Amino acid sequence: MTGPAASATPVRIDVPSRAGAYPVMIAPGISNRLPRLLEDVRRRGKCVLVSNVTVWRFHGERIRDLSADEPILLPDGERFKTLQIVGRVYEGLIRARADRGSTVIALGGGVLGDTAGFAAATYLRGIPLVHVPTTLLAQVDSAIGGKVGVNHAAGKNLIGSFHPPALVAIDPELLATLPRREFRAGLYETIKYGVIASRPLFDVLNESLSAVFARDPAPLMRVIAESCGIKARVVTEDEHETGIRRTLNFGHTVGHALEAVTKYRRFRHGEAVGYGMLAAAHIGASRGAMPPDDQEALARLIRAMGPLPAVGDLSAGQILDAIGHDKKIVNGRLHFVLPKAIGTCEVVDDVTTEEIERALAALGLAR
């Protein structure tokens, strides 16, 4: 596991990318020390601050001195992750006379980071971007890897680009104000990392779950740093969505389908992934590829996180239909990530409809 938890020295993870390596710096209170960090990555030009109204109210104070201009504040919500709102960011950038030497500082969750990031990726064909993620999901997932983009009426994340940041500054203190349900949604992604790549991470979650929920800095630092390390490793080995990057889709085949059939209204993304991980573990264990003890340990941890939204009114048929439209189907074959044990997984392309049906029945869905 990484570093002395909650010490003043940040955990640093360097993420190589085709645009050059960038540091992910993790430490409690680090969002108060951005001037120094920007200096370290040689960003000396103008900073343009982009946030949303909710996050700015809680945490704007920490970064407002970086710029003399007013921040660009976007409305809060996934429904505002649109090209129209990107247009508002462009207007703010033009008003601030941002040039190629300027840096966009994105303070917010995944929605804000993706939207502001897409504006930074495209304004003047791309200007530097710094992520200061404020949700657990953004800290362990969306701020790392360089994907930015927005939704279209025809689908989620249909419009996007790769724009690796110049710096990611992760401050676990920012999570103190995060609503419990949002925090929990991010935790399912950290369970995912544990299952696909790190038994120690899984064990920390298991052993310190209530301390993590209380946002106790020491275990929280370990969970965030270990998760970021895994995401960084996977996206480094494979900057585009093939091969090993696919393992990050563990729990997402069924998860995305659950979100889609409930029109993205019932589940937080992480909650749907919670169900998806249970389904994948069921398939893995039924094939004899995953030890039953590990399947049970995963089920126990997911139960310990609290109840998930109900699925009894959904049918396996609906879910299978939605899986059929998923972009994880390549050349007609569905790639499915199956755990082999807590800490290792494999990508297979021979999961049958019947196996998925049985797994969904075990979750309580109708046939």
Ligand X SMILES: NC(=O)c1ccc[n+]([C@@H]2O[C@H](COP(=O)([O-])OP(=O)(O)OC[C@H]3O[C@@H](n4cnc5c(N)ncnc54)[C@H](O)[C@@H]3O)[C@@H](O)[C@H]2O)c1
Q: What share of the chain is helix, strand, coil (3-state, %, to 5)?
A: 50, 20, 30
CB contact set of 354 (below 8 Å; sequence gap of 6+):
none
Q: How far apart are CA 196 and CA 48, in angstroms?
A: 37
Asked if 24 is part of the footprint of ligand X (rule: CB under 6 A), the reply reads: no
3-state secondary structure of 215: coil
For ligand X, the binding residue among 109, 128, 194, 217 (CB under 6 A) is 109
Is position 111 an interface residue for ligand X (rule: CB under 6 A)? yes
Q: Is residue 103 within the footprint of ligand X (CB under 6 A)?
A: no
Among 55, 74, 130, 258, binds ligand X (CB under 6 A): 55
Does residue 138 interact with ligand X by CB under 6 A?
Answer: yes
| Cβ neighbour number for residue 77 with a 10 Å cutoff | 10
| 112 touching ligand X, by CB under 6 A | yes
Cβ-based nearer residue to ligand X, 110 or 229: 110
Task: For residue 361, give both structure tokens.
Answer: 């029945």
Rounded-to-integer distance, Cα 145 and Cα 127, Å: 17
Catalytically active residues, by annotation? 125, 147, 189, 231, 241, 245, 249, 252, 256, 269
Q: Binding segment for ligand X among 13-21, 22-30, 38-46, 47-55 (CB under 6 A)?
A: 47-55
Nearer to ligand X, 231 or 282 (CB): 231
Among 10, 22, 30, 54, binds ligand X (CB under 6 A): 54
d(CA 246, CA 98): 37
With respect to ligand X, which residue has the nearer C-beta, 184 or 282?
184
Q: With beta carbons less than 8 A apart as the criterion, state whether 341 and 290 touch.
A: yes
Q: Is 252 in the site for ligand X (CB under 6 A)?
A: no
Contact status: 142 vs ligand X (CB under 6 A): yes
Residue from 98, 105, 116, 137 touching ligand X (CB under 6 A): that is 137
CB of 49 to ligand X, least distance (A): 15
CA atoms within 13 A on the CB side of 127: 24
From residue 60, give the alpha-carbon distance in Å to each of 78, 105, 156. 20, 11, 28
Strand pairing report for 47-52 and 129-133: unpaired
Alpha-helix runs per DSSP H in the chain: 34-40, 53-59, 83-95, 110-122, 136-137, 180-197, 199-207, 209-213, 217-237, 252-261, 269-286, 292-304, 316-324, 353-363
255 binds ligand X (CB under 6 A): no
Give how many residues touch ligand X by CB under 6 A. Answer: 27
**Contacting range for ligand X; rule: CB under 6 A; set: 53-61, 95-103, 279-287, 316-324:** 53-61
Nearer to ligand X, 144 or 365 (CB): 144
The residue type of 52 is: N
With CB under 6 A as the contact rule, the residue among 7, 177, 210, 242 that binds ligand X is 177
Q: To 5 degrees, how large is the angle CA 144–CA 201–CA 225?
A: 35
Single out the segment in contact with ligand X by CB under 6 A; choices: 51-59, 214-222, 254-262, 339-347.
Answer: 51-59
Q: Smallest distance, Å, CB 114 to ligand X? A: 5
- For ligand X, the closer of residues 10 and 164 by Cβ is 164
Q: Which of 47, 178, 297, 356 binds ligand X (CB under 6 A)?
A: 178
Cβ-based neighbours of 329, under 8 Å, separated by 6 or more:
335
Considering only residues 141, 171, 226, 259, which one is a binding residue for ligand X as defined by CB under 6 A?
141
The contact set with ligand X (CB under 6 A) reads 52, 54-55, 58, 76, 78, 81, 108-112, 114, 134-135, 137-138, 141-142, 145, 147, 157, 174-175, 177-178, 182
